[in-house]
Amino acid sequence: MSWKLGDIVTAHYAGIQADCKITEVMLSAREGDAIYRTAATFEVLTTEGPASGTVLAGADGSAQFWRSIDLGLTWAMTQETGDEFHYFGALTDTADGEAVAGISNFAGNGEFWKSDDDGSRWLEKDIAAGVTRILCMLRTLSDALVAGTGFGAGDAQFWRSTDDGESWEYIDTAGTEDDVLCMAMAADGTLYAGTTDFGSGLGECWRSTDHGATWVKRSNTGLGVYSIAVAANGYVVIGLYLGAIRYSSNGGTTWTTATGTPGGVIPWSMLVLSNGDILTGYSDGRIYRSTNNGVTWWLDTTFPCSGDIYALCQVSESIVIAAVDARLYRSTDLGVSWIEVHDASDDGVIFKALVAPGVEL
């Protein structure tokens, strides 16, 4: 290929497509005014896909913030909150691509932190007293942020922010004392939450049709709900304590038990991929996959470390990141195959949350 200084070319790297102008070239041959390059320097003009390839991870162990700027290929810790706060609960993004985190201490007190510079620096936000351990969080279609909390029976709460995480309002459910472990959003903006009573081991499904401002209990789920997703066809899919998965075709009113799932393990994470497949990550390092909206499942991946798969996150059209205890894995084919990209075992941390700010798939 022949390039000249000033040419506009399209480059691809780590899932990002960019239009670039050639500003410097190192030559291997010249023919007339054409340059045959061995290396070149580019000025990026426009990009498609994630603006910077940023993916953020949260880890237990002084509540550490980790960051990748190449769509999960390499990782570095950017900040830790201190010795008191150890439990990392959740990560989400705002409409402007900022990041918000929920962390807690061993006493069960929660705090919200925020970064406006792609996860380089995090600041604690002032909030009203009473926030318990933050367990899950998401951004709604109205761009409000909703968090689920809890720390044992009687402490379950929803909290909501309409100013990108600067301040938070308590949402009174007047009916649940279960911990809110997980939330998911349907295409129409309906929110679903799964809860668990750690005293009885039982769970419930809750629903909000107003972007998290109010919540109504839909049903009892039997065992506690540890993960939840909304399939491409609108089925609500839940992962229950001890491994079973159930799905609902009527918005969480009634449930049918899926087939092909394991037993005796915890389904910590659930992710609906852009192709409609659903992945569920279990506590024994295995991922199960469904290609029919959660009705049937099969074993798709077994990680060699056999740890808890606490988080799954799709960061581009083909790239998925998995948090497996102290290790981070990366797939470039929507979870068919994986490579280990980071091992933080020597740092004494456990990765609990993932987010790719600003990525819309």
155: domain CATH number is: 2.120.10.80
**Which pLDDT does position 174 carry in this prediction?**
66
Residues 28 and 147 in one domain: no
Residues 262 and 321 in one domain: yes
Residues 21 and 75 in one domain: no
Residues 87 and 170 in one domain: yes
Tens-level pLDDT at each residue, the chain (361 residues): 455 566 665 554 433 445 555 555 554 444 554 444 444 444 444 444 444 699 999 998 788 999 999 999 999 999 988 766 678 999 999 999 999 999 988 788 889 999 999 999 999 987 767 888 899 999 999 999 999 998 754 556 899 999 999 999 999 886 667 899 999 999 999 999 999 988 889 999 999 999 999 999 999 999 999 999 999 999 999 999 999 999 999 999 999 999 999 999 999 999 999 999 999 999 999 999 999 999 999 999 999 888 999 999 999 999 999 999 999 999 999 999 999 999 999 888 899 999 999 998 8
In a domain, 254, yes or no: yes
Residues 153 and 290 in one domain: yes
Query: Are the C-beta atoms of 110 and 131 separated by less than 8 Å?
Result: yes
Query: Are the C-beta atoms of 202 and 220 separated by less than 8 Å?
Result: yes
Query: Are the C-beta atoms of 69 and 325 separated by less than 8 Å?
Result: no
Enter the tokens of residue 247: 């799905």
Residues 278 and 217 in one domain: yes
Residues 23 and 119 in one domain: no
Enter the tokens of residue 202: 């039982």
Residues 12 and 59 in one domain: no
Residues 39 and 71 in one domain: no
Residues 42 and 99 in one domain: no
Residues 303 and 159 in one domain: yes
Q: How many domains does the chain have?
A: 2
In a domain, 1, yes or no: no
Residue-range definition of the domain harbouring residue 34: 8-47
**Which pLDDT does position 249 carry in this prediction?**
98
In a domain, 361, yes or no: no
In a domain, 321, yes or no: yes
Residues 201 and 302 in one domain: yes
**Which pLDDT does position 309 carry in this prediction?**
98
**Phi and psi torsions of 345, nearest 5°:** -60, -40
Query: Are the C-beta atoms of 151 and 132 separated by less than 8 Å?
Result: yes
Which strands form 256-257's sheet, in the order they lie side by side? 225-230, 236-240, 245-248, 256-257
In a domain, 101, yes or no: yes
Dihedral angle of Cα 226, 106, 114, 209, to the nearest 10 degrees? 30
Query: Are the C-beta atoms of 81 and 63 separated by less than 8 Å?
Result: yes
In a domain, 244, yes or no: yes
In a domain, 360, yes or no: no
